[in-house]
Amino acid sequence: MQHMWLSLLSGLCLNLVFLCSAEEGLEFPNFDGKDRVMDINERNYKKALKRYDLLCLFYHEPLPANKGLQKRFQMTELVLELTAQVLENKDIGFGMVDSQKDVKVAKKLGLEEVGSLYVFKDDRVIEFDGELSADTLVEFLLDVLEDPVEMINNAMEVRAFERMEEDIRLIGYFKGEDSCYDILAFNFFFKVAKHLSLKMNEVNFYEPFMEEPAIVPGRPLSEIDIVEYVTQHRRATLRKLRAENMFETWEDDMDGIHIVAFAEEEDPDGYEFLEILKDVARDNTNNPELSIVWIDPDDFPLLTTYWEKTFKLDLFRPQIGVVNVTDADSVWLDMSNDEDLPTAEELEDWIEDVLSGRVNTEDDDESADEPENPDSLRDQDSNGNF
Amino acid sequence: MQHMWLSLLSGLCLNLVFLCSAEEGLEFPNFDGKDRVMDINERNYKKALKRYDLLCLFYHEPLPANKGLQKRFQMTELVLELTAQVLENKDIGFGMVDSQKDVKVAKKLGLEEVGSLYVFKDDRVIEFDGELSADTLVEFLLDVLEDPVEMINNAMEVRAFERMEEDIRLIGYFKGEDSCYDILAFNFFFKVAKHLSLKMNEVNFYEPFMEEPAIVPGRPLSEIDIVEYVTQHRRATLRKLRAENMFETWEDDMDGIHIVAFAEEEDPDGYEFLEILKDVARDNTNNPELSIVWIDPDDFPLLTTYWEKTFKLDLFRPQIGVVNVTDADSVWLDMSNDEDLPTAEELEDWIEDVLSGRVNTEDDDESADEPENPDSLRDQDSNGNF
């Protein structure tokens, strides 16, 4: 069962052809072999920009000489091809821009980060910095296609809006085209909706997991005002790691570290711990030095055991710790007693110790008290304590 | 960009090697080429059963002669190999059982459905009939490893229990080993927890999305009583399609049809429609002829456009219809006016029309009023009306 060329794949998915089901309605797409991804160059980029509602460009290094790296390159192409096939009817163009051959085009289009995917919609550019899988990419692009503005018409829809606590949200009263007042809510999805050019009274900004909004200052508000405000307040006190922008979130560290909390929302302990984290975040929302990255292991099945190994943790339980992003060194709060999750106050004391440097990933390396046993994931590599 | 051999893949995922991030902590696993999946036969199956906490056997047809099918076969092996690698430290064995060569072993182990994956845990067998991707399989196996019984210790954990409305849940008071009364809650996760052998007063059964539980009859309750009750009440009035058992759900049709509702929970309209569906389900929980399959398109990005094409729908909005599972023919309720989702009563009237046969997938084929335009997904192929 050796398939060396496929040693590059991290997640495969295929339909259950062996199940021989006679029923229809759940057919996963197979790549049909048809080329849909364009080779973008100086001659065709303008036409491509005009031609599609959305143009999706992968900015890449030249084809490597190394065979192994070539396979990876082909896998990336394949992810793009499958995505293009799945979204064939959605008027989305896909292309590759070579960072060496197409250096001029890249400059004109403002492509900067090699390995990133850039989405052009109207006169805006959206950078995708998430997991490069067909699932994540298709979901992301379908979201970009959707109108980011929702009319809130009734109490049920207000509840739906309130439930989206993981996102940055803006909401405003404004005078609609039909001259009656509506409530307008939108996810700040990389761009501000055109609807904002309509007159309005006030726009409220909800940081993720906050119950109370902030009022975006300035009157009348321009699109620029709002973009600027959101950009400034983008890094939330508690932010969830999501496949669609996981690398962007991870690169946005705080002085080389992340405070990372693992909590499974569907598990009673995890849920309880998450509620405590939310309390802590609400108490400290004005502390610019604090941003906790919450990871729900359920969202990243392929990374769960990697994290357990790297951080020497048991992820069947909630965990919180400090991770040094340059070497993945970490220390974790001892919460080995299931019955006894820390209170919000205890957690705040520990966070204070982290922010002041009393708890840090380096101390841990000196103390040789705890034997390191790579086989036992349950040994906590922790020196945080109450 | 032709990779014919890969035309079999439906979803690929690879780490962003081109992103060249200097930060650590988010490394997706790559298959390392090491064989971990065993070839199970008469000589080794007993040993394998003893050796692991969990034994995961894929029951497959013999290696096909056709090259295309051989590739599919290799992809399945690869999904299993990557899953085995990711879960290497979890004491899970993986093996393949050939339905031709190993017919005796299959019989002894009770393997029946070729193409299914069977998980052996203690003296129980769990059949996996979901999406065969490494993500879904790893998540499923981690769930199987986890204790299905949770102690409910405080109000927060009761809230967490109440939130799990998508699952079948059992909850009971029982006398714990430390002689004080606890509340015991567990997901009915293919097996009944051993904890049930403890004395208890009563076990309540929550059907998915129901607010009121039923009391499992009989006193004292045996494990068999509970398993029997759950098996009988397994098909819920409203059930969510989930990757981990999607084929099982789909095969469990009602006289060849499914009532299918599409609703994005994260979208205000979708959320509102889902709440209406829940009302309908609660009103009709005792109707054994009714079971609505709820699909959240967000959970199946690779299938979304396939469904749009197959059913001629716009899945940016909520939809409900009847699908014939043998030919995927369908009719959909006209809800084209965004402002005007049907009320629970109107939906119940329509469902009554479906159950009585007044609305069905065949009538639709006769009426040639609506032109079929495969390019326009927004044309509703619907003859259901109020």
Question: Which residue has better confidence, B315 or A16?
Answer: B315
Give the CA radius of gyration of chain B: 24
pLDDT tens-place string over residues B340-375: 799 999 999 999 999 998 988 886 555 444 444 444
Is a pLDDT exceeding 70 seen at residue A235?
yes
d(CA B230, CA A266): 21
CA of A19 vs chain B CAs: smallest distance (Å): 4
Does the beta-carbon distance from B135 to A11 stay under 8 Å? yes
Is a pLDDT exceeding 50 seen at residue A209?
yes
Does the beta-carbon distance from A82 to B9 stay under 8 Å? yes
CA of B20 vs chain A CAs: smallest distance (Å): 8
Question: Which residue has better confidence, B242 or B189?
Answer: B242
pLDDT tens-place string over residues B148-191: 788 777 778 878 888 899 999 888 766 555 434 444 554 443 23
Residue A166's closest chain B neighbor by CA?
B266
Looking at residue A33, what DSSP letter applies? -
> Residue B270: which pLDDT band, with cuts at 50, 70 and 90?
very high
Within 8 A of A159 by CB-CB distance, chain B residues are 271
* Mean of per-residue pLDDT scores for chain B: 82
- The pLDDT of residue B301 is 96
The neighbouring-strand residues paired with A169 are: A187, A206
Name the packing angle between helices A268-283 and B155-163 (round to 10°): 110
Cis ω for the linkage preceding A318 (within 30 of 0)? no
Interface test with B, best of A4, A7, A8, A14 (most B CBs within 10 A): A14
- The pLDDT of residue A203 is 83
Tokens (6 digits) for A198 = 């309509």
Minimum-distance CB partner of B132 among A14, A25, A76: A14
Q: What is the mean pLDDT of residues A326-331?
A: 92
d(CA B350, CA A351): 55
pLDDT tens-place string over residues B94-108: 999 999 999 999 999
Q: Do B22 and B84 meet the contact criterion of CB atoms below 8 Å apart?
A: no
Where does chain A show beta strands of DSSP type E?
11-14, 38-39, 54-60, 92-98, 117-121, 124-128, 132-133, 149-152, 169-175, 181-187, 200-206, 214-215, 238-240, 257-262, 292-295, 319-324, 330-332
CA of A13 vs chain B CAs: smallest distance (Å): 4
pLDDT tens-place string over residues B295-340: 999 999 999 999 999 999 999 999 999 999 999 999 999 987 656 7
Is a pLDDT exceeding 80 seen at residue A177?
no
Does the beta-carbon distance from A24 to B303 stay under 8 Å? no
Minimum-distance CB partner of B339 among A153, A275, A309: A153
Residue (of B374, B280, B273, B275) closest to B317 by Cα position: B273
Cis ω for the linkage preceding B220 (within 30 of 0)? yes
d(CA A149, CA A164): 14
Within 8 A of B2 by CB-CB distance, chain A residues are 33, 35
A330-332 vs B11-14, strand pairing mode: unpaired
Within 8 A of B76 by CB-CB distance, chain A residues are 14, 18
Residue (of B240, B257, B252) closest to B353 by Cα position: B257
- The pLDDT of residue A66 is 87
Least trusted range by pLDDT, from A103-117, A200-214, A246-260, B167-181:
B167-181
Least trusted range by pLDDT, from A62-76, A315-329, A365-379, B155-169:
A365-379
H or E segment and range at residue A81: helix A67-86
pLDDT tens-place string over residues A130-160: 999 999 999 999 999 988 788 777 778 878 8
CB atoms within 10 A of CB A4: 12
CA of A94 vs chain B CAs: smallest distance (Å): 13
Residue A307's closest chain B neighbor by CA?
B25
Least trusted range by pLDDT, from A278-287, B52-61, B217-226:
B217-226
* Separation of CA A174 from chain center: 30
Interface test with A, best of B2, B7, B14, B153 (most A CBs within 10 A): B14
Interface test with A, best of B23, B73, B149, B300 (most A CBs within 10 A): B23
Residue A16's closest chain B neighbor by CA?
B132
Looking at residue B189, what DSSP letter applies? -
> Residue A339: which pLDDT band, with cuts at 50, 70 and 90?
low
Least trusted range by pLDDT, from B3-7, B278-282, B287-291:
B3-7
Does the beta-carbon distance from B150 to A267 stay under 8 Å? yes
Q: Which residue is it, tokens 């890449």?
A: A60
> Residue A226: which pLDDT band, with cuts at 50, 70 and 90?
confident
The neighbouring-strand residues paired with A126 are: A119
Does the beta-carbon distance from B268 to A89 stay under 8 Å? no
pLDDT tens-place string over residues B8-27: 333 333 433 333 445 789 99
- The pLDDT of residue B185 is 54
SS3 content of chain A, % helix, strand, coil (to 5): 35, 20, 45
Q: Could you give the count of Cα atoms lying within 13 Å of B384 in the half-sphere of its Cβ? A: 30
Q: Which amino acid is at B126?
A: I
